[in-house]
Structures are given as C-alpha cells and as structure tokens.
Amino acid sequence: MSGINCCPVALTVAGSDSGGGAGIQADLKTFAALGVHGASAIACLTAQNPKRVLVVESVSPQMLRQQIAAVFEEMSPAAVKTGMLFSAENVRVVAEFFGTHAFHPRVPLVVDPVMVATSGARLHKPKTVDALKEKLLPLAALVTPNLYEAEYLIRRRLTSVEDLRAAARQIHASFGCAALVKGGHLRGGREAVDIFFDGRTELLLSAPLIKRVRTHGTGCTYSAAIAGYLARGCSLPHAVKRAKQFISRAIAGSYRIGKHSALNPLFR
C-alpha cells in the first residue's frame, strides 16, 4: 500500500506469561519499544506471577508449527528469537522449520535457552535440553544463557568473569553459534557483567548491578532486544551492545505492580 511506511518484523517463539512480566508478553513490549512489529508463536501456556510458576501446559507441536508457518507465509520476519519451548517435541518442530525452507535468505535466530525461572522453577522437561543442544543451537546466530543455563550447557560451575569468558568460547566451539553468557547471578560483584564471543569478536559488557529490583523477565527482554536490533539491521555485536544498554535502562526504570517490580522497556 502506497503512503505507508515499512516496519521490520521480529518473531518470538516462546511461552505465555500470565503475569505479563516475561515470555511472549515481555518480548512483544520490547519489540514495540524498539519500533519493530512483533509477531508471536506460543509454545506453551504458563500460570505464573513474579513470585512463582504454578503450572505449565505445552501447545501441541502441530499448532506451534502452524503458528510459525502462518507468520512466515505473509510477514517475512527479519529476525527470530526463541524462549521457553518447554518440550523436546516443540524444540524439534522449531529446529525442523528453521532448518529448512523458512530461512532463505537466512534470518538470524536468537536462542534464549529458558531453563530456570528467576523464582527457581524448572521451565523444561528432562529431555528438552538435549534436544536444544542437538537440534536448535547449531542453527542459531546467538545463544543467550544466564549463569545457571550456561552451567547446564557446558556441565561445570561458573564462579568468575574468567569462567564466563571460557564458557562463551566453549559454547561457540561446541555448537558453532555466538554466545552471550550473562553474569548477573555471579556472587559478590557490583557490576552485571556479560561476555559475548562469536569466534572473532569478544565483548565484555557491564552495567551497575541494581540489587533492589527483582529481575523477572530480564532474560526474555534482553534477548528480544537483540532480535529487535537485528531486525532493524544492526550487526550481531552492535545489536548485543545496544541490547545491553536497553536492558540496563529497563531495569533502572522498573515500576511497582502489586507487591513486585516490573521492567520498563519504555524507560529512557
């Protein structure tokens, strides 16, 4: 249609958070804040709030694939992120779709390997991590594990920034994708330090650690911001750097919802 400006599209394939602070809801708010049209494919439903996850129910693999196919049929996403996929079957559906006709030309895929909620709840079935490692990570442009998720992926403890550097390099060597290992859960630090490595470029990204704010949804928002900047045409290292600034502002601008705080992706 003439006279209408084009808007880049980013797709999130993730779980729905009934509390609105993480998952699909956080991703779509982030895309909107970056001037990107957000499309979604819901992999699972959760009954949760900032304090705890009550129950998780998976969407059928057939329904998940149809959602993704419907978006690609008409909307041509410029970037995709995955979040909580929950089941190994859904990981395989996503990997099969993105490993075939859908990525011509190749669309950057950001994988947030959602395994453990901020509340401590496990957010995957036992075989999901194996499917993620075997099927999805080799297709990714970037994987964004937090400290605990990185430990799951490389099977060893991480207790320092040097450990984060080694983990980012090991993840890249093992799966072929760039890694952003997030160190916000490192103990004793005054900075939230993340390490990015893509085989050539290493970035140490830091921001003051804000301890008074509960960071429910931080990983979702961070990875969505990276996908949003990729959809806007940024290179991967530049998208990661801008996303770090974005999530730091969102945390600093958090607001109260009931008894809890929520990230503010619109804060400037």
What residues are labeled active site?
Answer: 182, 215, 217-220
* Interatomic CA distance for residues 266 and 250, integer angstroms: 7
Count the Cβ atoms, other than its own, within 10 Å of residue 156: 12
List Cβ neighbours of 11 (8 Å cut-off, separation of 6 or more). Answer: 38, 39, 40, 41, 68, 71, 72, 75, 77, 79, 80, 81
If you write DSSP's letter for every residue of 99-156 in order, what string do you get? TTGGGSS---EEE----B-TTS-B-S-TTHHHHIIIIIGGG-SEE--BHHHHHHHHTS
